[in-house]
A and B are shown apart, each in its own frame.
Chain A
Amino acid sequence: MPQTTLEVKSLTKAIHGKKIVDDVSFGVQKGEIFGLLGPNGAGKTTIIRMIVSLINRTQGEVIVNGSSLDGQYKEMMSEIGAIVENPEFYKYMSGYKNLLHYARMSVKKIPRERIDEVARLVKLEGAMNQKVKTYSLGMRQRLGVAQALLHSPSLLILDEPTNGLDPQGIRELRDYLRQLADGGVSVLVSSHLLSEMQLMCDRFAIIEKGKLIHISSMKESLAEEDLMNVAFEVSDAKAAAEVIESSRPGTEMEILDDTHFTIRIEREGINLVNRLLIQNDMDVYGIGRVAATLEDRFLEITSRSEEGKKIDLINL
């Protein structure tokens, strides 16, 4: 059985009776990069801030390596390294003094060598004696990673880590995280950018309006991508849809207008449907694949939940 580093159980936050985070539960395994995905304002940041105790929980439990936020605060917080939104530093102090500041706050003693080691890891060793106000955004981000790693935490939490980073910086960050995860550190990241999550995470949860509506691994969700949306242009879309329904009941279809419809099928199915339509004396003028990305899956899942339909929680 894989070891669970972070366990979040029915986390809830209500402000003035309104639930902005509603009964969210999930777990992050050792060495796994787990993403929280959702549009802005969905509650990702609130969830993360409840985990790191910046925001009080209305309900729920957070457990890191067996230590609960209730009662074992010190033990739990020593296991966490985090960057909450843009990493902010004391700009009037040098990078080294900033790291020293956080090193002094660690429960286990952090020697000077460890600070140097972390600075080397994020390639800032040459800039440690400069004041942080002279740093570029990318350097600050790297210093952020450094302060989060100083005390060798078993869980790294990053809230919107790529905000304001250039593509080069994003790539570097991604490589760091993968390197860390391979070394046994668990990572929890939040983002509203799917493409980023796709590249970064092993598993992800989709948060919408404070609720967790879907958890799946990247592999599973991409496997589902074998089914694709295909658009047909025919003489009579409605009649065509009936023909397909009678031959392949249960196929997902959507009639766009009199002559267009889309259908969700596997690759081989395109040919079969085309043949079926021609055999039934339908004129086919065009067939095209609608590019299916994770983005579509995401929108599909979130909009389906809006209609109140039941979503199967895969892997929960």
Chain B
Amino acid sequence: MISLICNELMKIFQKKSSWIYMIIIVLAVAASAIIYQKVTPDDKNWKENLTAENAGLKQDLENQNGKTKELTETQIKQNEMYIKDDINPNAVTNWTYMNTVLTGVLALVTLLSVIVSSASVSAEFSDGTIKQLLIRPHPRWAVLLSKYIALLIYYVLLLAVLIAAGFIMGTLLFGYGDFGAKIFDLGLNGVKETTVGAQFFLKILYYIPGLIVITAIAFMLSTLFKSQALAVGIGIFVLFLSSTLGGLIVMLADKYAWAKYILFPHLDLTIYAVQDKILGNITLPISLGVLLVYYLIFMAITFVFFQKRDISI
């Protein structure tokens, strides 16, 4: 098994594209840091500004109702907490950069992981190498599993590149800040008080289950289609669909309870870093359970189909 995984890793890293993807991540991180530096105001009068902002928001309140009103109220509450605890929300350190901006670049890691996963098996079909690969003294499931494990290693590497590049860029541009600095992160159900470094790693941790399930879909597509282009195309399509459908399903879930168990709203668990519940009454363990069920289904389809299919290209 180890030698099979070595083979798959060799195939990943002998491809130029695998290295280009890492460079893309580094470039995107650098761009995000530079843009963030340009747009953050360097204000010393932040207390006055926040007070002024709150005054404006309070005026707005009179014309608002429902959800919008709630949002404005939490915003005001957050600002008041900053003033009360004497924390400058615009004070930028490498950690605040990573917590607020770098977590947005995570979507790029997902995209690139999806591309690599959906090409994993389908490329062997398009190139015809699958024939030479499967006439070896290893059962098909072992070959497939080795591919999957190699992919997991590659995802971890992409994620590590992102965090390392973010840390380096953040430190260079904003300076090393306090890992334990107190912040208030804004969620739908109110304001969460936490420390900046812990919040960043919590978001990364909550990001991983979604990544695993989305790439599992891409990996499944990769075994279902013989064309690499088709598999990658559909993989990316599903990825975009998931972010588009997320909002629709929130509305659907208001009406029908079963809609809460549709996959898409659960794909982004980082929301649990700022709030305890989504879709009304769904908590983190429930979301994890839903993801696990879908994951097992996708994996079962992938392995059963691959084990049985006739290789006739």
Contact = CB atoms under 8 A, between A and B. Distances in A.
Contact of A77 (B7, B16, B131, B136): B136
Given A105-B3, A147-B132, A91 B137 contact: no
Contacts of B7: 101, 104-105
A40 B129 CA distance: 22
Determine chain B's interface SS by DSSP, over half rule. Answer: helix
A80 B132 contact: no
Given A55-B310, A73-B137, A88 B16 contact: no
A91 B310 contact: no
B145 interface: no
Q: How large is the interface on B (under 10, 10 to 19, 20 to 34, 35 or more residues)?
A: 20 to 34
A101 B311 contact: no
B247 interface: no
Contacts of A106: 136-137
Interface string A83-124: 111111111110001001110111100000000000000000
A70 to B, nearest CB: 13
Contact-residue bracket for chain A:
35 or more
A85 B128 contact: yes
A90 B14 contact: yes
Interface in B269-313: 308, 310-312
A155 to B, nearest CB: 12
Nearest to A107: B137
Interface stretch (A46-54, A244-252, A253-261, A270-278): A46-54
Contacts of A53: 134-135
A101 B15 CA distance: 14
B34 interface: no
B310 A89 contact: no
Contacts of B181: none
B10 interface: yes
Interface string A43-69: 000100100111110000000000000
A42 interface: no
Contacts of A55: 310-312
Interface in B124-140: 127-129, 131-139
A88 B136 CA distance: 15
Nearest to B6: A104
A85 B11 CA distance: 22
B4 interface: yes
B139 A90 contact: no
A105 B138 contact: yes
Contact of A84 (B10, B131, B136): B131
B132 A54 contact: no
B128 A86 contact: yes
A21 interface: no
Interface string B1-38: 00110110011001110000000000000000000000
Nearest to A147: B132
Contacts of B128: 85-86, 88
Contacts of B14: 90, 92-93, 97
A277 B134 CA distance: 65
B27 to A, nearest CB: 23
A78 interface: yes
Contacts of A92: 14-16
A74 B135 CA distance: 10
Contacts of B310: 49, 54-56
Contacts of A101: 7, 10-11
Interface of B: 3-4, 6-7, 10-11, 14-16, 127-129, 131-139, 308, 310-312
5 contacts: A84-B132, A88-B128, A89-B129, A90-B129, A102-B136
Interface of A: 46, 49, 52-56, 73-78, 80, 82-93, 97, 100-102, 104-107, 147
Which 7 A-B residue pairings sit nearest by Cβ, starting from the closest?
A88-B128, A77-B137, A54-B311, A104-B3, A105-B136, A84-B131, A55-B310
